[in-house]
């Protein structure tokens, strides 16, 4: 089994909740992840002291491979037009990561992280360029047949079921079609500030294969008071366990009255590439079930 933990939208700065944030390094240590995903918005206002605090936090996390990608709050605000034009990622590169589009191989996993911020094209929303789709293709085409293929971006490719303020990225369908072609299994993101686990076919049936779809794993804000909708003023993170055949996603939520995170829901999906085979195998078993037999109630 390979375990990823996804945290997101830390928002160091005024919205950061110290009493929650201080629990995370120890809790992640106890959960023994093989890798950590941090899906953007390390800071609230892209200030140097906020990035410094985020760096201190990262240095306290378990020492395992970590994928980090920027969020729209990690680039200078629209009113800092010179910073936005000339050096949008200077602080991010200094404190968080030199690379903006990243890839990672873990046992049985091929993970690609894409920088969806586009400070010159959009204010809050994001975009994935054709060049980035080529980067994803170059990485994913080297994956082993049995690998889980995972793509992460800060901005979401599919709206949350409550639709509250969750317009997707322009060109999201173009990206989803390409990810389908690349046999991506999971799409992960943040930005929405509440967790959402689902399937791309729930919102977009554009794939020629209507059976496959991709598993969507959105993370809430792990350490800020900016939670929205069903996670308003709440904090959450996801634990994602992969084996050869299935993935199990466990959603953890912080409860003020107990001052701790607890598991609140769990989702299990067969590997999309194996689902049809699994179904065929099970049909044999179901055919053998005696229909109409008397059962005790
Ligand atoms: Fe955010």
- Res. 205 pLDDT band, cuts 50 70 90: confident
Q: Is the pLDDT of residue 12 over 50?
A: yes
Q: What is the mean pLDDT of residues 205-223?
A: 86
Per residue in 27-75, pLDDT (tens digit) is 999 999 999 999 999 999 999 999 999 999 999 999 999 999 999 999 9
Q: Is the pLDDT assigned to residue 280 strictly greater than 90? A: no
Q: Is the pTM of this model over 0.75?
A: yes
Cα–Cα distance, 233 to 194 (Å, whole number): 10
Residues of the chain above pLDDT 70, percent? 90
| CATH of 2-287 given 3.60.21.10, 3.10.20.30, 3.40.190.10, 3.30.70.1560 | 3.60.21.10
Rounded distance from Cα 11 to ligand 1 centre (Å) = 7
Distance 41 CA to ligand 1 centre (A): 5
What are the residue ranges spanned by the domains of the chain? 2-287
**Residue 269 CA to ligand 1 centre (angstroms):** 27
Cα of 191 to ligand 1 centre, how many Å?
5
Q: Cα of 177 to ligand 1 centre, how many Å?
A: 26
Residues 120-154 pLDDT 10s: 888 788 999 999 999 999 999 999 999 999 999 99
241 SS3 class: strand
Q: How many whole angstroms from 292 Cα to the centroid of ligand 1?
A: 53
Give the list of residues 6+ apart from residue 191 with CB closer than 8 angstroms, or none: 8, 9, 39, 40, 41, 71, 72, 126, 154, 155, 156
CA 188 vs. chain centroid, Å, equals: 3
């Amino acid at each position: 089994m390979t375990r990823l933990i996804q945290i997101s939208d830390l928002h160091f700065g005024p919205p950061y909740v110290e009493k929650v944030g201080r629990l995370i390094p120890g809790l992640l240590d106890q959960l023994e992840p093989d890798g950590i995903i941090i899906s953007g918005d390390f800071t609230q206002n892209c200030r140097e002291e906020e990035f410094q605090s985020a760096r201190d936090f990262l240095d306290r996390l378990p020492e395992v491979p970590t994928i980090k990608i920027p969020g729209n709050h990690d680039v200078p605000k629209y009113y800092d037009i010179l910073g936005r034009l000339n050096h949008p990622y200077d602080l991010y590169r200094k404190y968080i990561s030199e690379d903006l589009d990243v890839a990672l191989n873990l046992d049985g996993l091929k993970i690609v992280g894409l920088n969806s911020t586009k400070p010159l094209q959009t204010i809050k929303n994001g975009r994935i360029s054709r060049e980035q789709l080529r980067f994803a293709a170059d990485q994913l085409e080297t994956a082993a047949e049995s690998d889980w293929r995972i793509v992460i971006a800060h901005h979401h490719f599919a709206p949350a079921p409550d639709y509250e303020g969750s317009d997707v990225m322009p060109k999201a369908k173009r990206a989803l079609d390409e990810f389908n072609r690349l046999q991506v299994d999971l799409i992960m993101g943040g930005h929405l500030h509440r967790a959402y686990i689902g399937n791309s076919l729930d919102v977009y049936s554009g794939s020629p294969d209507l059976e496959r779809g991709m598993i969507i794993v959105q993370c809430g804000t792990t350490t800020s008071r900016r939670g929205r909708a069903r996670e308003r003023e709440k904090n959450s993170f996801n634990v994602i366990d992969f084996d050869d055949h299935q993935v199990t996603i466990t959603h953890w939520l912080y409860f003020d009255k107990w001052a701790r995170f607890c598991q609140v829901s769990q989702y299990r999906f067969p590997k999309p590439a194996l689902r049809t085979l699994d179904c065929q195998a099970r049909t044999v078993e179901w055919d053998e079930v005696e229909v109409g037999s008397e059962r005790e109630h």
